[in-house]
Amino acid sequence: MSFLIANHRYRQPLSYLAACGQPIIAVFLLIFCPALLASASPPARDHAMVGLNRDQISALVTQEIEVASRHWQQYGFEVKAALLPGISTAAPCQGLDIKPAHPQPWWGRLMLKLTCVSPINAAQKGWFGFAPVEVQVWGPVFITKRPLPRGKPVNLDDFEAVMQNLVPIFPFPPSLRQLENNVSLPPGYVSLSRLQSSTRPPQVLSLALMAGQVLRSEAIKSAPTVSQGDMVALRVRHAQFEMNTSATALMDGGIGDVIRVKTEQGKVLNATLIDQKLAEVLNN
């Protein structure tokens, strides 16, 4: 700031003049130039009136994603979100609604829609914009320590738990119905509880695995509880009635497997093993 007083040019701020033994000059300015004095101490700006910068938007987006993904913590998952290039500032807003632009889970790269639902004042209209983000979901995956043959019983000692980003490993996210029910395990993911559960029937590998390979759910099946030629109890369900009979298993299978059975009348049916030696007819 530069101004003239008695043919002398001063470049100090006004507060400096008053503080350094210049009472006459300070009084002169206070009486004749109040605007200059006011300009030396600008009023504090209301932060609510200032537009959002990229860091603020990123913080809001991260907070929203953490809240939306909180139930994943029960599986030991950690959610990391990063705002991608594409948005730098936004207009002032007191209340911001953040959600995916299209119905989809918070998984991988997606576009968020930012909607101002509470404008600063009545004169300001609500607004909306879009922000690209990348959501990473980190969790424990089980890596084989050594080559494992098909049919080997599943043993936790054969695997090592490693934290990895699940998105590239399981590219198909959970369905919206699963997310609504807080069942957020991605298809193919194997949790520690599944490997440790003592209530499940014994499990074996349904295919051979190489060393260092990620264990996926399709590589596990229930150990056979029925062998080809065994007699099984057969339950046939229809809308109006239920019939119980017996049949012969035409193939090996474990609980949860669909096997072919032959009834006493010679009819071949597809049935699901729901318990040891108990099968239920599917869609017949």
175-194: pLDDT as tens digits: 655 555 555 678 788 888 77
Residue 197: predicted pLDDT = 66
Rounded Cα distance between 177 and 96, Å, is 26
> Do 160 and 173 have their domain in common?
yes
Last residue of a domain, one of 201, 222, 243: 222
Over the stretch 36-48, which tens digit does the pLDDT of each residue have? 333 333 332 233 3
What are residue 252's phi and psi, to 5 degrees? -75, 155
> Do 13 and 92 have their domain in common?
no
Residue 247 predicted with pLDDT over 90: yes
Average pLDDT value for residue range 143-168: 93
Locate 185 and state its tokens.
Answer: 């395990």
Last residue of a domain, one of 87, 112, 138: 138
Residue 178: predicted pLDDT = 56
Q: Which of 255, 262, 161 is nearest to 204 (CA)?
A: 255
Locate 153 and state its tokens.
Answer: 């019983």
Q: Which residues fall within 8 angstroms of residue 240, CB to CB, at 6 or more apart?
A: none
| pLDDT band with cut points at 50, 70 and 90 for residue 212 | very high
Residue 204 predicted with pLDDT over 70: yes
In total, how many domains does the chain have? Answer: 4
| Residue 165 neighbours by CB distance under 10 Å | 15
Residue 179: predicted pLDDT = 53
Average pLDDT over the chain reads 76
Residue 268: predicted pLDDT = 93
**Domain encompassing residue 214:** 141-222
Locate 137 and state its tokens.
Answer: 């979901």
Residue 87: predicted pLDDT = 75
Last residue of a domain, one of 113, 138, 163: 138
